Structure 1
Amino acid sequence: MTENNKTFFQTIGSLNKNFWIASNMELFERWAWYGMFNILGLYLVGSTDDGGLGFNHIQKGSIMGNITAILYLLPVFFGVIADRIGYKLSLTIAYIIMIAGYYLMGEVNTYWSVYMIFLFVAIGAAFFKPVASAIVARNTDESTGTLGFGIFYMMVNIGGFVGPFMSSTLRNAYGYKIIFIQAAIVIGINLLILLFFYKEPKVERPKDSIGKAIGDSLKGIFEALKDIRLSILLLLMICFWVMFNQLFYTLPNFIDDWVDSSAISHWIIENVPFLKQSFVDKDTGLIKPEQFSNLDALMIIMLQIPISYFVTKMRHINAVIRGAIVATIGVGLTFYTHSVWFTILGTMIFAIGEMMSSPTVSSFIALITPKGKEGLYQGTYFLPVAAGNFFTGFIAGNLYQSWSDKLSLLQKEMGKRNIEMPEVVTHEQFIESGSKALKMPISDFERQFDLKAEKVDWATVETSFREFATTKGVDISNVHLPFSKNEYFALAEQKLGMDHWQMVEMLWNTYNPNKIWYVIVGIGLFSIVTLWIYDRMIIRPREKNMKEI
């Protein structure tokens, strides 16, 4: 290995133009992605009168878990394609797809349309993911690679912090749709940087066909997985990623449902009012849930370098295990109680565990990689990430819907008390069921009742809909008019004779929605124990054999 005899600033100065372009494009891409993704769970299940889509958590988990899993699988194929068609063309395709996809995500409102458009965005993001890091690798050498990738990943976290912060600030004034417009604009900036500043170097491209190269890549992955050290590690890391993902999939909704952050929001309004727009929700007066998750990114920006240095004093596998212990404690605290202070403390502790574990896994894979197979083994890194996202969808979706969703638990409670309540129905569900009952095409149904108007008068729609159905002799008893989640909560509070937080406390004490923490912490503990067994039974004996040799 070549020793770097340059000073820090000389090393910085030796990094070329394309390196800095790739790093800045990474920052903007992460800005767009996390600016959308950190708020996506809130948007998907949010009440329609707040601009949300009113989906249930099962639908949310399916959309977020399945699509993100696909995103992490596709770079295996798209990296091969990029090597053959060139990085500039690959990035141009990625950016055009993402610009269109991000914008359209704010324009669609049915489950399958959101699912397919988000998949479209994921295809663009998967095209980008291997190219940006490949440009950095191509434009660094042994003397600059460590610092270069350190800067690159710092850009990831800066983008991961700025994106949600900006989205949170903008949606207060302009609603949810602005987060998708923002993402499209930021990717548009990337496209301009690419077209006007990035110069594709002349390199010899592989001569074999794309199909053959993809086949060889898959064969290579299967060959790498024959190494029991690698395959068992990747399998065990699935549990780590399932636990890790709860911070982004589940925690924002849990905070939105159960955590009263009014003490902090009142302090911000009184003492630092210029932060009100960014942190305090204009409708609820509470801290926006996504800002708690964003604390994780802020912690990484501030502490990743000293923690990485601290971790260098440990064995790699020990750092992963200890990081998993810390992260499990942190994520457990965030779900254990509905105290806002535990939410903050838990998120900060989790961030420390993440900084210890997450970067070290890739480094540990490099450590167990046979010489000459570095690319092959590193290519398997995203397999447990993809699987982790897929399984996270079930916890953030099916399990949360059953155990922790405030609306579902309130509906159960109202049923137990024999208190009659209307169905929660979105505008799209009403249009679909109403048009079906009247045997009309959806476009004719919308035109008949003026449902495309900028502001719909739903009282008038109800009257005209009933009159129209009566004249046609159609039974519409199973067709429910739009009734939002917020309207359901308000009516339930009225019928129960409680204010909102009295009702929340009653549901918390009755149904213990925090019991989901048993599953999340249990997954984390399973990951910790199995990694410890893996170290004792596989890694340590091999290390001992190597020393004897």
Structure 2
Amino acid sequence: MSNTKKVNIFPRTFWIANTLELFERWAYYGMFTVLSVYLTDPVSSGGLGFTQSQRGLMQGIATALLYLLPILGGAIADRYGYKKVLLSAFLTLASGYFAMGYFSTYATVFASFLLVAIGGALFKPIIVATVSKTTNEKNDTIGFGIFYMIVNIGGFIGPWAASRLREIDWVYVFIMCTIVILFNILLLWFYKEPKKEDESDESLADSLKRIIRNTIIVLKDGKFVLFLLIMLGMWTMYMQLFFTVPVYITQWVDTSGLYNALPSVLQSAFGSVKDGVGIIPPELMINIPALTIIAFQLIMSNMLKVVKPILSMIFGILGIALGFSFMSFSMAGITIVMGTIILAFGEMASSPRIQEYIGRIAPKDKVALYMGYSFLPVAGGNLIGGLLSGNLYASLSDKYIFLRDYLNVRDIKFSPEINNDNGLLFKAAMENMEMTKEQLNTLLFAQYNPGTIWYVFAAIGAVTSILLFIYNKRAV
């Protein structure tokens, strides 16, 4: 069968669902990949000036809810209908994105981000269910392959568009996200509700009771629960790609060499000029793993098909840890590039095998049920990862905390107005010490070694791999 014929076997609702997914991922990753920088950049630079600990708390709680609540969102959708709940999801998402761009206090931005998390939790299970209901055993492999490709396309376009818009003003990033989600409301006109396989009139309360009963069943399986607990370590480490790496690149990494190495066409497409120096924005640097996965996932999957899932996960997690370790070596942009590429190959070896492994260890009559709870370590990893990111970065890597310590030791003082803004303080220190930005960065990097944070997160990954190895030996 030709590729054209394969594509034509899907109903219209399948394509509408995938288009909704594309725009939702466009909006989410457009916001999420720049969020760490937006929250913590100095007010004088256009950011909100929150502390790293405040950032970590906000990101950890909101993203954990984003992965925990879909199980309730699915129950609500089954009760009230996919189309109605999708409309509610898009209105909630649009409100949240719009508010994030216009509020500036910690409480209001936090509340706005929670709205985005709730909207995303309503959206996620409906789209996956729609793709599932509009495919069958003959075409579900290519159907979900198309879905995965669409996710990555949206995940690439969003950060690229955000990197262009934030050069004008941060608020335009959130306006973009709002408009993209509102466009999904128009697409709902063409969305046809999939037929329900089960026509029972189960109430929402009964659905929630069923979810609780299923949860109890799953949590009674000690082997499965232990596996989920161990996998918390992987997701705690992995989420630093979004939580911590963007801030680290912004504060410490010199990407001018990468920018200068690009042809002029690519410089215009993927670079920007800041203070007269060409750079690669952090949101595009952390998109390197997505591009690597798109290019090599099929090759990696074919190479690893003879390797047991648990062994693939063990070495894959070690690969992610190695990637993070690599980022600590220097301030050069190439270390981030190499680190993220290594990380991507580790992700390709581990992440896709998790579902396969769960399918093998779950009771044959409960595979679908167990699969539904594979999100628990992702939610937990987001929560723990967010909290660790904020607190560890403040202790081990925050340039502005280091600068204040350096100035205090040398009894260099500035006015309260300058002290209260990190950006103004750094510029004043440059002038006082007669240094360029690069020289002051290098001095602080050499004295305080901010790359230590990557060894901590890599250690979490290494311990996770060791625990998985022991778990596998005991489980055999």
> Post-superposition shift, 1:265?
2.1
How many Å separate the matches in 2 of 1:494 and 1:187?
A: 45
Do residues 294 (structure 1) and 287 (structure 2) align? yes
CA distance in 1, matches of 2:219, 2:144: 26
2:227 is the counterpart of 1:229: no
Task: Report the CA distance between 1:311 and its aligned residue.
Answer: 2.4
Asked whether the 8 Å contact 2:418–2:424 carries over to 1, the reply is no
Alignment of 1:282-361 (within 5 A): 282-283=274-275, 285-361=278-354
In 1, the alpha carbon distance for the partners of 2:209 and 2:273 equals 50
Question: In structure 2, the residue corresponding to 1:513 is in which secondary structure?
Answer: coil
How many angstroms apart in 2 are the aligned matches of 1:192 and 1:354? Answer: 36
Q: Conserved in 2, the CA contact under 8 Å of 1:158 and 1:301?
A: no
Q: CA RMSD in A?
A: 1.7
SS state of the match for residue 19, structure 1? helix
| Secondary structure, aligned partner of 2:193 | coil
For each residue in 1:169-217, what CA deviation from the matched residue of structure 2 results, as whole angstroms up to 9, or x when unmatched?
2222x2211111111111112111112x111144354422212211221
User: Displacement, 1:28?
Assistant: 1.1
CA contact (8 A) 1:84 1:205 kept: no
TM-score (norm 1): 0.83
Listed one character per residue, the Cα deviations across residues 123-181 of structure 1 (whole Å, up to 9, x for unaligned) are 00000011100001111111111221111111111111111011112222x22111111
Question: How many residues align structurally?
Answer: 474
Matches of 1:512 and 1:405 in 2, distance apart? 10
Could you tell me how far apart the structure 1 residues matched to 2:293 and 2:424 are? 39
Which residue of the partner structure matches residue 117 of structure 2?
122
1:279 aligned onto 2:265: no
Which of 382, 406, 418 aligns to 2:375? It is 382
Unaligned runs of 5+ in 2: none
Q: Identify if the C-alpha distance between structure 1 residues 201 and 130 changes in structure 2 by more than 3 Å, giving closer, same or farther.
A: closer
Counterpart check, 1:497 vs 2:422: no
Task: Find the partner of 2:234 among 236, 240, 248.
Answer: 240
- For 2:155, which of 147, 155, 160 is the aligned residue? 160
Query: What code does the residue aligned with 1:194 have?
Result: L
Measured after TM superposition, the shift of residue 506 of structure 1 is 1.2
The gaps in structure 1 that reach 5 residues or longer are 1-5, 424-479, 542-549
Q: Does 1:18 align with 2:18?
A: no
Q: Which residue of 2 aligns with 1:97?
A: 92
Structure number with the bigger relative contact order (C-alpha 8 A, sep ≥ 6) is 2
Alpha-carbon distance in 2 for matches of 1:176, 1:276:
19
Q: Which residue of 2 aligns with 1:175?
A: 169
> For 1:372, what is the secondary structure of its paired residue?
helix
The answer for the alignment partner of 2:257 in structure 1 is 263
Amino acid at match of 2:457: I
1:545 maps to none
1:70 corresponds to: 65
**Which residue of the partner structure matches residue 523 of structure 1?**
460
Residue 88 of structure 1 aligns to a residue in which SS?
A: helix
2:100–2:112 Cα contact (<8 Å) kept = yes
- Is residue 42 of structure 2 the alignment partner of residue 47 of structure 1? yes
- 1:409 paired with 2:402, answer yes
Contact 2:130/2:194, CA 8 A, preserved across alignment = no
Q: For 1:222 and 1:494, how far apart are their aligned partners in 2?
A: 62
2:424 match: 487
Give the partner amino acid of 1:380: Y
Structure 1 distance, partners of 2:217, 2:429, is 59
| Greater C-alpha radius of gyration | 1
The one-character-per-residue Cα deviations of 1:382-403 (angstroms, maximum 9, x if unpaired) are: 1100110111112220110111
What is the alpha-carbon distance in structure 2 between the residues aligned to residue 378 and residue 7 of structure 1? 32
- 1:510 Cα offset (Å): 1.2
Deviation at 1:8, TM superposition (A): 5.0
Cα distance between partner residues in 1 of 2:64 and 2:194? 32
